[in-house]
Structure 1
Amino acid sequence: MKQLFTTLGPRSKAELGMILPHEHVFVDLRTPDKEGYAQADVAEVVALMAPQIEAIKAQGVTALVECSTGGVGLRVDFDLAVSKATGFPIVVPTGNYREPWIPDWVRAASEDELEAWMHKELSQGIGETGVRAAWIKVSAGDDGITPLESKILRAAARAAKANDAVIGSHTIKGRVVMDQLDIIEAEGHSASRFISIHTQAEPDFEMHKAVAARGAWIEYDNLGWVPDEESVPLILKALEAGLGKQLLLSHDMGWFDPAKPGGGEPRPYTHLVGSILPKLRAAGVDEAMIVQLTEINPFEAFAR
C-alpha cells in the first residue's frame, strides 16, 4: 500500500485530502557558511508558523510538503515542533540545494557516501527526529547543471530508486530539466519519479509539455506571488493540453526566516483554496479535476 511519510507518521490516501506540494515552514537563504545559519528559537518558530497552519486546516488542507532542503536551512526538528503543535502532518525531504548553497561536507563526499546518507534518511529517519524523509529535494543552476550538482543528483537517483522516492528539483530552465532526466534515467530511476519544480518559470509552454511527455510531474508553484490573471490561464492551458494528471499546484510561501527579526512576516498558504480554485471552477473545471489537482496528484507524487 502506498503511504505518505510525514512528521506524524505514515498516512494512507484514505487518511488525507488536499495536500499543498510546495511550501516552506522554515528557510534560511543565506549560505551555510554564514554566522547564525539555520539557527532560531523553536518556540518562536512555532508561534509564528502555527497560525499559518491553522488557517489552511480551516480550509480543508490535510498536509503540507516542506520544500526546504539541505543548504537552505532544512530543520526537521522545527517542522516536527510545528506539526505537533497543530496536529498537522508535514512532509519533509532529504537532499541538498545547488551551488553556492552546498556545505563543505557535501562537496567533499563521494557519490556513494551521499547515496548512503539519503538512503538512511529515507529509510530510517533524519537525525534524532525519528522522522523519515518522504522525498529528495535538489536543484540545478539556471545555466546548466554543474559537476557538483550532477554528483548529488546521481546519488539522489540511486537512493530514490532504492526507496521508490520522488526527486524534486528547483530548476528554472526546461532544457536543464531534460538534462536532469537524462541523468536520472541513466542511473536506472524513472522520469515519472521526478518533479520539475517552478515549471511556470520556463516561458516556453512547449517545454512544459516536453517535460510531461518524459513522464515527469510539472509544478506551478507561484500562486499568490503573481496575479491570478497570469496563473489561472496557465493552469487552464495545461489542462487543455491534457496535463492535468501530472500537474501540481502550490504557493512556495511561508516562512520563518532566521535572518530577519522574529522570523519576518510570513506569507499565508491560503491563496490556492481561497482564490485560485474558485476561479478554476468558474472557468468550467469540474470537481473531479479539482480533486485530481489538489488531492490525487500530490499524494501520488510524494507517496511511496
Structure 2
Amino acid sequence: MKQLFTTLGPMTKDQLGMILPHEHVFVDLRTPDQPGYAEADAGAVVALMAPQIEAIKAQGITALVECSTGGVGLRVDLDLAVSKATNFPIVVPTGNYREPWIPEWVSKASEAELEAAMLRDLNDGVGDTGVRAAWIKISAGDDGITPIEARILRAAARAGKATGAVIGSHTIKGRVVMDQLDIIEAEGYTASRFISIHTQAEPDFEMHKVVAGRGAWVEYDNLGWVPDEESVPRILRALEAGLGGQLLLSHDMGWFDPALPGGGVPKPYTHLVESVLPKLRAAGVDEATIVRLTHDNPFAAFAR
C-alpha cells in the first residue's frame, strides 16, 4: 500500500484530502556560505507560520509539501515544530538545489555519497529528526544542467529507483526538463516519477504537452502570484489538452525568511481554495476533476 511520509508519520490516501504540493514553511535564499544561513529560533518560526497553517486547515487542506531543499534552507526540525504545534502533516524532501546554492560538502561528494545521503533521508529520517523524507527536490540552471547538477540528478535517480520516491525539479526551461528526463531514464528510473516544477514558466504550451507526454507530472505553482485571469485559463487549457491526470496546482507561498527581521511577512497558502477553485467550477470543471487535481494527483505524485 502506498503511503505519504509526513512529519506526523506515514499516511494513507484515505487519511488525507486536499494536499498543497508546492509550498514553503522556511526558506533561506542566501547561499550556504553566508553568515547566519538557515539559522532561526523554532519558537519564532512557529509563531509566524502556525497561523498560516491554521488558515488552510480551516479550508479543508490536509497536508502541505515543503519544497525547501538542501542549499536553500532545508530545516526539517523547524517543519516538525510547526507541524506539531498545528497537528498538521508536512511532507519534506531530501536533495539539493542548483548552483550557486550548493553546500560545500555536496560539491565535493561523489555520486555514490550523494545517493547514500538521500537514501538515509528517505529510509531512516533526515538528520536526527526521525522524519523520513518523502521525495527528492533538485534544480537545474536556466540555461542547462551543470556538471554538479547532473551529478546530483544521477544520484537522485538512483535513490529514487531504490525507493520509488518522486524527483521534483525547479527547472524553468522545458528543453532542460527534457535533458533531465534523459538522464533519469539513462539511470534506469522512469519519467513518470518526475515533477516538472514551475512548468508555467515555460511560455511554450506545446512543451508542457511534450513533458507530460514523456510521463512526467507538470506543476503550475504560481497561483496568487499572477492574476487569476492568467492562471485559470492556463489550467483550463491543460485540462482540455488531456493533462488533468498529470497536473499539480499550488502557490509556492510562505515563508519564514531568516534573512529578514522577524522572518518577514508570509504570503498565505489560501488562494487556490478561496479564488482559483471557484473560478474553475464556474468555468464548468466538475467536482470529480477538482478532487483529482487537489486530492488524487498530489497523493499519487508524492506517495511511495
TM-score tier (shorter): over 0.9
Task: For residue 121 of structure 2, give the secondary structure of its aligned residue in structure 1.
Answer: helix
Say whether residues 1:13 and 2:17 are aligned partners: no
Equivalent residue number for residue 129 of structure 1: 129
Please report how far the alpha carbon of residue 212 of structure 1 lies from its aligned counterpart in structure 2 after TM superposition.
0.1
Show the counterpart of 1:230.
Answer: 230
The CA distance in 2 between the partners of 1:270 and 1:261, in whole Å, is 24
> Aligned with 1:73: secondary structure?
coil
Query: Following TM superposition, by how much is the alpha carbon of 1:213 offset from its aligned partner in structure 2, in angstroms?
Result: 0.1
Structure 1 residue aligned with 2:174: 174
Matched residue SS, 2:22: strand
Structure 1 residue 207: Cα displacement: 0.3
* Amino acid of the structure 2 residue aligned with 1:160: G
1:151 aligns with 2:151: yes
- Could you give the per-residue CA deviations for residues 75-126 of structure 1, whole angstroms, max 9, x where no partner exists? 0000000000000000000000000000110000000000000011001100
Q: Alpha-carbon deviation of 1:254? A: 0.2
Structure 1 residue 250: deviation in Å? 0.0
* Unaligned 5+ runs, structure 1: none
Query: Which segments of structure 1 move beyond 6 Å, counting only runs of 4 or more?
Result: none
Q: What is the one-letter code of the residue matched to 2:237? A: K
- Matched-pair identity in %: 84
Counterpart AA for 1:88? F
TM-score, scaled relative to structure 1 = 1.00
Following superposition, the deviation at residue 127 of structure 1 comes to 0.5
For the pair 1:164 / 2:164, whether they are aligned, the reply is yes
3-state SS of the aligned residue for 1:301?
helix
* Residue 241 (structure 1) aligned with residue 241 (structure 2): yes
How far did residue 283 of structure 1 move? Answer: 0.1
Equivalent residues in 2 for 1:1-304 (5 A)? Answer: 1-304=1-304
Q: TM-score, normalised by structure 2?
A: 1.00
What is the alpha-carbon distance in structure 2 between the residues aligned to residue 209 and residue 179 of structure 1? 16
Q: CA deviation at 1:222?
A: 0.1
Give, in whole Å, the separation in 2 of the partners of 1:115 and 1:83.
27
Distance of 1:23 and 1:188 partners within structure 2 = 29
1:184 deviation in Å?
Answer: 0.3
Separation of aligned partners in 2, 1:126 and 1:168 = 18
Counterpart-to-counterpart distance in 2, 1:275 and 1:61: 14
3-state SS, counterpart of residue 254 of structure 2: coil
State the 1:37 CA deviation: 0.1
Give the 3-state SS of the residue equivalent to 1:34 in structure 2.
Answer: coil
Q: Which amino acid aligns with 2:23?
A: E
Matches of 2:28 and 2:120, distance apart in 1 = 24
Question: Offset at 1:271?
Answer: 0.1
Alpha-carbon distance, 1:293 to partner:
0.1
